Amino acid sequence: MTNYEIARRFEAIADILEIQGENVFKVRAYRVAAETIDDLEDDLATIHERGKLRELPGFGEAIASKTADFLATGTTAIWERIKDSVPVGVVKMASVPGVGPRTAKALWEALEVTSVEALEAACREQRVRAVAGFGAAKETKLLEKIEAWKRLNEKMPRRWALPLAEKLATELRKVEGVERVEIAGELRLGRESINPRRNHIVLAEASTPSAQAAIAEFKLKNPQWMETEMRLQVAEGEHHGSNITAKVFTLRCAGGNELVEQFMKELNWEWEAVPEELYDWPDVIELAKAGKLPKLITEADFKGQLHEHTTWSDGTASVREMAEAALERGYAYLAITDHSPLLAIANGLSRERVLAQLEEIESLRPEFAARGLAILSGLEVDILKDGTLDMDDEVLEKLDIVVASVHMRYKEDEAAMTARICAALASPHVDILGHPTGRIMGQREGYALDIDAVIQAAAKYGKALEINASPERMDLCDEHVKKAKAAGVKIAINCDAHSTKSLGNLSWGLCIARRAGLEASDVLNCWDLATLRGWLG
């Protein structure tokens, strides 16, 4: 089983146990395990092979043992015992944010609804309001939550789909007669999320009937791929053995057969000139013919990172450890931007602690400067309700860089949220707007926001917008980044790292940047230190 599958299984166990009225601490243990797994960068199988499962946050002996069971057999004793005790649809109801196990149980018992669809129908028929403890307002709120959940679940986030596709590809490469396996479709195009019901994501090339039969047998023996809706295509024909087949198939997913034929005619199969992330640009053929395709940004272009956290707030590594990790990656600079005091849950820094951290950074600078790394002082400061910042001007003036972000009061209407963020962008202290829409892929929609007005404000005040490369955020989306570039707004692509390992998250933001056509000159942290300092002022 993959990390994604095991995390979802632990969530389901927690939901069933909570519906059954199990001890709250036991329920919480499974939820923490799922959250830990979702945050992992390494495969659980690899961690298990190293004997390190017990070192994961929230992984006691019981959770580690069940994880080992899932990895070995695809199931564990508690799952087999409880999986049929609550209807699958009720468990699905419980997984809808804003519904939860208690509400799911109450409405299952009162109205005999056993699916999200049935619950939605009950809300529309105004039957929920008649249940004790509910009412019209709660009924309306439930309907809103269900509609949001449906939108979020139309597609699978890249952070969940890509590991599944890679595992499927690995297994297919072991099938006798399979000559090449490629990640294809929307994943190959670098999209932030995919629709696995419509889109083949793995291309297996097999030229003989026996090999194709082996693949068919593989699918029958591995029904878990049907459960996760991963789809594959078996390719054959005159282009067997070349890269063309995979590229044709990828393009077909993006634009249909007519676009494939047009490329064949116009470019004479000179695919190397066209980056895959641009295949679904409507004017890509004209740009290619005119030699005007952008020189897309690559990971090698990056000189540093500008939004990272340490043990001063909610990170797991010290300033020194983060600096050492940045040096290992060949960076020339690293900004330390821990949280401001409003975010108490993340151990946000008080005024006094910001100043104390500044002293630590100053003490480390000479050593690391001699080794080729500049440590920049900074803060991820919360944007308050009225657009002011969660730190006084005197402290902010001492910092090299300020990332302003929204972490609370997500439910404001579009006008209020837009005014709030634009007011923050007007501050002379702010340099970058962090994770601008506040979305969490597959879990939370972004807050209501007039993104065009925000882009205009960033252009007016000379601020940068962030592509947050945390795999759960991937915020901004490529369409918004395109608009920002067209408006002359600079972009920062930041890992928002909370550990030394998560400094490796850059690829999640890079695919968005490439789909938006960004070049190195568009991105702050691809500039050399002198140029960056000049822009920061």
Higher pLDDT, 468 or 88: 468
Query: Do residue 269 and residue 308 come from a single domain?
Result: no
Establish if 176 belongs to a structural domain: yes
Establish if 411 belongs to a structural domain: yes
At 531, which CATH number? 3.20.20.140
Establish if 61 belongs to a structural domain: yes
Query: Do residue 401 and residue 283 come from a single domain?
Result: no
Query: 339: which DSSP letter?
Result: B
- pLDDT tens for 21-73 read 888 899 999 999 998 887 776 789 889 998 999 989 889 999 999 999 999 99
Residues 6+ apart with CB under 8 A from 185: 194, 199, 200, 201, 249, 250, 253
Query: 42: which DSSP letter?
Result: S
Higher pLDDT, 235 or 162: 162
- pLDDT tens for 433-490 read 999 999 988 878 899 999 999 999 999 999 999 999 999 899 999 999 999 999 999 9
**Tokens standing for residue 56:** 């994961």
Nearest to 280 by CA among 182, 204, 197, 191: 191
Query: Do residue 308 and residue 210 come from a single domain?
Result: no
- Residues 240, 241, 247, 250, CA torsion sign: positive
Establish if 12 belongs to a structural domain: yes
Establish if 294 belongs to a structural domain: no
Domain enclosing residue 394, as ranges: 299-536
Nearest to 423 by CA among 465, 393, 453: 453
Give the C-alpha separation, 219 to 468, whole Å.
37
Whether 271 has a pLDDT exceeding 80, the answer reads no
Question: Is the pTM of the predicted complex or chain greater than 0.85?
Answer: no
| 493 close to 525: Cβ distance less than 8 angstroms | yes
Amino acid at 34: A
Strands 156-157 and 401-405 turn out to be: unpaired
pLDDT computed for residue 459 by the predictor = 98
At 133, which CATH number? 1.10.150.110
Number of residues written out for the chain: 537
Q: What's the CA angle centered on 247, arms 245 and 253, to 5 degrees?
A: 105
Query: Exposed, middle or buried: residue 458 (CB in 10 Å: 0-12, 13-18, 19+)?
Result: buried
Out of 131, 152, 173, a domain closes at 152
Establish if 503 belongs to a structural domain: yes
Query: Do residue 358 and residue 423 come from a single domain?
Result: yes
| 340 close to 396: Cβ distance less than 8 angstroms | no
pLDDT computed for residue 249 by the predictor = 41
**Tokens standing for residue 262:** 């047009």
Query: Do residue 476 and residue 510 come from a single domain?
Result: yes
pLDDT computed for residue 327 by the predictor = 97
Out of 152, 175, 190, a domain closes at 152
Strands 193-194 and 156-157 turn out to be: antiparallel
Give the C-alpha separation, 14 to 100, whole Å.
11
Q: What is the largest CA-CA distance in the chain?
A: 73
Lowest mean pLDDT among 88-102, 166-180, 365-379: 166-180
Query: Do residue 382 and residue 478 come from a single domain?
Result: yes
**Tokens standing for residue 130:** 């008649």
Out of 152, 178, 213, a domain closes at 152
Query: Do residue 397 and residue 435 come from a single domain?
Result: yes
pLDDT computed for residue 263 by the predictor = 54
Mean pLDDT of 292-297: 92
pLDDT computed for residue 238 by the predictor = 39
How many domains is the chain partitioned into structurally? Answer: 3
First to last CA, the chain: 50
Establish if 235 belongs to a structural domain: yes
| 129 close to 138: Cβ distance less than 8 angstroms | yes
Query: Do residue 354 and residue 391 come from a single domain?
Result: yes
Query: Do residue 380 and residue 423 come from a single domain?
Result: yes
Residues 6+ apart with CB under 8 A from 68: 48, 53
Establish if 358 belongs to a structural domain: yes
Give the C-alpha separation, 339 to 349, whole Å.
6
Query: Do residue 430 and residue 348 come from a single domain?
Result: yes
Query: Do residue 520 and residue 371 come from a single domain?
Result: yes
Lowest mean pLDDT among 35-44, 192-201, 321-330: 192-201
Q: Mapping DSSP to helix (H, G, I), strand (E, B) and coil, where does residue 239 land?
A: coil
Give the C-alpha separation, 374 to 336, whole Å.
11
Lowest mean pLDDT among 128-132, 135-139, 170-174: 170-174
- Could you list the beta-strand ranges (E) of 327-420: 333-336, 374-382, 401-405
Query: Do residue 260 and residue 165 come from a single domain?
Result: yes
Residue 393 to residues 61, 379, 421, 430: CA-CA distances in angstroms? 49, 12, 18, 11
Give the C-alpha separation, 215 to 397, whole Å.
62
Residues 6+ apart with CB under 8 A from 513: 296, 297, 467, 478, 481, 491, 493, 523
State the DSSP string of 415-458.
HHHHHHHHHHHTSTT--EE-STT--BTTTBPPPP--HHHHHHHH
**Tokens standing for residue 517:** 């056509």
Q: Mapping DSSP to helix (H, G, I), strand (E, B) and coil, where does residue 389 land?
A: strand
